[in-house]
Amino acid sequence: MAGEKRAGILMAGTDRTQPMNFDPAPAIILCEPQLGENIGTAARAMANFGLWDLRLVAPRDGWPNDKARAAASRADHVVDRIRVFDTLAEAIADLSLVYATTARRRELAHEVIGPDEAARRLARHIGSAQRAGMVFGREKWGLYNEEVALCDAIVTLPVDPAFASLNIAQAVLVTAYEWRRETTQAALPVSSPAASLASKDELRGMYLQLEEALDRSGFFKTPEKRPTFIINLRTMLGKAGFSDQEVRTLRGILAALDRRHLYDKPGRGLPRRGRGKASDE
C-alpha cells in the first residue's frame, strides 16, 4: 500500500480494487494543446471525476507524449485511450451536443452558461443515450470563432474578472467536477460516521447527572439562578449532537470528576433536585 501514498494529497483515498470507470460520459476535446503537461494533468483531472474520453486536435508536439503520461499520475486508462484528430470538426463528428469553453466575450450569438448548467444538460443528453463533449482552447489564445461556431453553446467559469487566467487542466477539472456532482448527486467517497445520536432519554440522564454533581460541588451559590442556568446549560450541550457513545464517555468523565468532590467535601448531603440516579450511590 506504500505506493498509494506517492502522488497526491488525496492519494490515500484511491481504492485500486475498484474497476476503472467507463460509464457513458462527455468527451473532452483539447484544441491544439501545446504542452504535454497540460494534456497529462487534464487526463488526471478527468479520471478524478469519472471522465475517460480524451481527444486531441493537432497537439503541437505530436502524440504519444512522454511528458503527458508523466503528468497524468497514472491515469493510464485515460491516456491509453486518447484519440488524435486533424481538425475540431473531425474530433466532434460523432457528438450531438458540444460546448465550447471560453472566457472571451464574442460577437457570436451563442448562449453562455456556467459549468453547473452545462453538467445538467450534458447529463440529460447522455442519459438519453446521446453523445456529448466539451471543447477547450489553446493555452495561448483559446478557440477561434470558427471553432466556437461548431458548438451549441459557450460554457464559461464564474471566475473573478480581475484574475480570470485559468490553466486548461484546471478548467477541465471544474467541468469534470460538475459532471460528477450532477451525475452522482455529489456522492462522497468517504461518508460521515454512522450517525447514532443519543436519545432524549440518554441526554436527560446525562444532564441530571451533571446537575446533581454541580449541586454536590456547591456550584450554585445563588439557588434562585439554578433553573435558568440549567435550561441554558442543556441548550448549550444539546447543540453538540452527542452520540450515545459520546454520552457514555461524558457520563464516565462526570462520574470521575464528581467522585473527587465526594472525597474532598462533606457536601454530599446537599439538597437534591431531579430524579436522576447519581453514579456511585
Q: Which of residues 241-260 bind a second copy (CB under 8 A)?
A: 243, 246
Q: Are 135 and 129 in contact (CB under 8 A)?
A: no
- Own/partner pairs for 165-171, CB < 8 Å, 24+ apart? 166/103, 167/38, 167/41, 168/30, 168/33, 168/38, 168/42, 168/136, 168/139, 169/38, 169/41, 169/42, 169/44, 169/45, 170/45, 171/101, 171/136
Nearest residue (CB) to a second copy, 19 versus 271? 19
Q: Does 163 bind a second copy (CB under 8 A)?
A: yes
Minimum separation from the CB atom of position 61 to a second copy (A): 17
Choice from 58, 84, 123, 157 touching a second copy (CB under 8 A) = 157
Q: Does 105 bind a second copy (CB under 8 A)?
A: yes
Q: Does 164 bind a second copy (CB under 8 A)?
A: yes
Q: Does 159 bind a second copy (CB under 8 A)?
A: yes
Choice from 103, 123, 237, 255 touching a second copy (CB under 8 A) = 103
**What is the pattern of x (binds a second copy, CB under 8 A) and - over residues 195-234?**
----------------------------------------
HSE-CB at 281 with a 13 A cutoff on CA atoms is 14
Choice from 168, 230, 254, 278 touching a second copy (CB under 8 A) = 168
Minimum separation from the CB atom of position 180 to a second copy (A): 5
Q: Does 50 bind a second copy (CB under 8 A)?
A: yes
Q: Are 88 and 29 in contact (CB under 8 A)?
A: yes
Minimum separation from the CB atom of position 117 to a second copy (A): 8
Among the listed residues 71, 6, 65, the one whose alpha carbon sits nearest the alpha carbon of residue 44: 71
Nearest residue (CB) to a second copy, 158 versus 269? 158
Q: Does 240 bind a second copy (CB under 8 A)?
A: no
Nearest residue (CB) to a second copy, 179 versus 207? 179
Nearest residue (CB) to a second copy, 36 versus 208? 36
Q: Which of residues 174-193 bind a second copy (CB under 8 A)?
A: 174, 177, 180-181, 184, 186-193
3-state secondary structure of 93: coil
Please say whether the dihedral angle defined by the alpha carbons of residues 23, 26, 32 and 34, taken in this order, is positive or negative.
Answer: negative
Q: Does 121 bind a second copy (CB under 8 A)?
A: no
